Every structure is written in C-alpha cells, then in structure tokens.
Amino acid sequence: MTKQETYKSILPQIGSLVAGETDMIAKMANVAAVLHEAFGFWWTGFYRVEGQQLVLGPFQGPIACTRIPYGKGVCGTAWQHAETVIVPNVHKFAGHIACSSASNSEIVVPLISDKQVIAVLDIDSTDFGTFDEVDKCYLEQISQLIL
Ligand code: SME
C-alpha cells in the first residue's frame, strides 16, 4: 500500500473515532494510536499549548520531553509560525530537541482553532526523509478533525 492509500484507509476510521467525542485529549489519544499503528512511526503524539510552553499530551512511543518553550525545537517552531514543519534530517535542524537519539526525521503539524495554535501533532521516524507533502496534506486534515 502507498502511504496515500494508508491515509485514505484510516481517514474514515479516524472520523468515526472522533465523532460524538467532545474531549480533545481523548480524541488525541486515539488519533495518535491509529497513526502510530498504521505507519509504524517511532513516536506519534501531541503537545498542548499551555501559556508560553508546549506540554506533552497523549502519545505512542518512547518517553519524551514534557515541556517545550515557544519557538524552540521543531515543535516550538511550528507553533511560532502556525505552519507545518517537515524536517528530512533532524540533525541538520538548528535547535532540534532530541527526545530520542533514534529519531532522524520529523513532521510537526499545528492544530489551529480561531487562528490560534492550541496544540501540535508531532511525528518522528527513525528513517531519514520520511515525511513529504502527502503526509502534510493528510495530517493537516486529520488534525482538524480533533478540534
Ligand atoms: N523533536 C521535537 C521534540 C519532541 S520529540 O521529538 C517527541 C522538537 O524538536 O521539537
């Protein structure tokens, strides 16, 4: 299956998982689980905006840093610019926060509600160059389903 086909197959599943659920943390937890299982990523999870920091939310994978300041790391950068950030090689990203030395590429998608970033979806891969415009397109759609 291509990754496009995988995204297409999980979209309805995610749609029904979030339908009727109002608690954002519960939705984040199931979305992280679906993505993580479908693709076998290294780390899949959410950070929520709390004041001037991102705080660790529901995730799948190894333990991670609990707090990330505004504008720091890939997550803080995606928050600051309110835009998805794709990093093909995290070792070349100035300021990358290495929660795990096994991670080699990463994508961070902001969740935007009323023009405010309220959380980010962060996915790490042990391969280089895992993420591209296809991931960006589908993960942005999936992220909006959580709001
Ligand atoms: N690498 C991220 C930190 C979070 S972990 O990857 C789970 C960053 O640079 O913001």
Distance CA 7, CA 77 (A): 25
- With 0.85 as the threshold, say if the pTM is over it: yes
Q: Provide the pLDDT for residue 61.
A: 98
Atom index in ligand 1 nearest the CA of residue 68 equals 10
Q: Provide the pLDDT for residue 87.
A: 98
In the chain, beta strands by DSSP E: 43-50, 53-60, 67-69, 85-87, 105-113, 116-125
List the one residue out of 108, 111, 125 whose CA is nearest residue 73. 108
CA 97 vs. chain centroid, Å, equals 15
Q: Provide the pLDDT for residue 42.
A: 98
18 — pLDDT class (breaks 50, 70, 90): very high
Sign of the C-alpha dihedral computed for residues 86, 125, 130 and 116 taken in this order: negative
- Based on its alpha-carbon atoms, the radius of gyration of the chain, rounded to whole angstroms, reads 14
Query: Mind listing the pLDDT tens digit for each residue in 30-67?
Result: 999 999 999 999 999 999 999 999 999 999 999 999 99
Query: Mind listing the pLDDT tens digit for each residue in 82-139?
Result: 999 999 999 999 999 998 899 999 999 999 999 999 999 999 999 999 999 999 999 9
Please give all residues whose beta carbon lies within 6 A of any atom in ligand 1, as ranges.
Answer: 43, 64-65, 68, 73-75, 96-97, 99, 103, 106, 122, 124
Query: Hey, which of 42, 43, 70, 74 would you mutate to test ligand 1's pocket, going by the most ligand atoms within 8 Å of its Cβ?
Result: 74
Q: Provide the pLDDT for residue 38.
A: 98
Nearest CA to ligand 1 atom 2: 97
How far does the centroid of ligand 1 lie from the alpha carbon of residue 75, in Å?
A: 6
Structure tokens at 132: 């591209």
Atom index in ligand 1 nearest the CA of residue 61 equals 7
Q: Provide the pLDDT for residue 36.
A: 98
Q: How many domains are there within the chain? A: 1
Can you give the residue range of the structural domain that contains 37? 3-146
Q: Provide the pLDDT for residue 135.
A: 98
Distance CA 112, CA 26 (A): 18
Q: What is the CATH number of the domain that holds 66?
A: 3.30.450.40
